[in-house]
Structure 1
Amino acid sequence: MEEYLRICKERGISPHKEYSGKFNLRIPPELHSKIAVLAASEDKSLNQWVAEKLEKSLAM
């Protein structure tokens, strides 16, 4: 990471990239089905359920 930041500084490039908040994730159909059922059982959208799980997995 330090090397990346050094190179950005040398080149006058911002090390921060703006993200759209969207990305495609390829998963097996069986996993997709299980996640959809779990999300529905919690009355959440698939997107909301997955986003919450990702946030929780990154919490320290």
Structure 2
Amino acid sequence: MEIQVTIKNNYGNRAIYPACDNAELFASIAGTVTLTDETISKIKNLGYTVNVRPNEPTTL
């Protein structure tokens, strides 16, 4: 079992965003848009592997 997340930098703070349905479900259960380090730790304790997707390049 695994979930996919992306990590973004918001005003100098790291934010972990869900990038798959299961990750979005965990964020919904936690009542947040992003996943905290504590939530990630609990997800791992449930036996899930957390995979970080590379950030997609942005065009300006």
TM-score of the pair, normalised by structure 1: 0.29
TM-score of the pair, normalised by structure 2: 0.29
Task: Say which structure, 1 or 2, has more relative contact order (CA 8 Å, 6+ apart).
Answer: 2
> Which has a greater percent of helix?
1
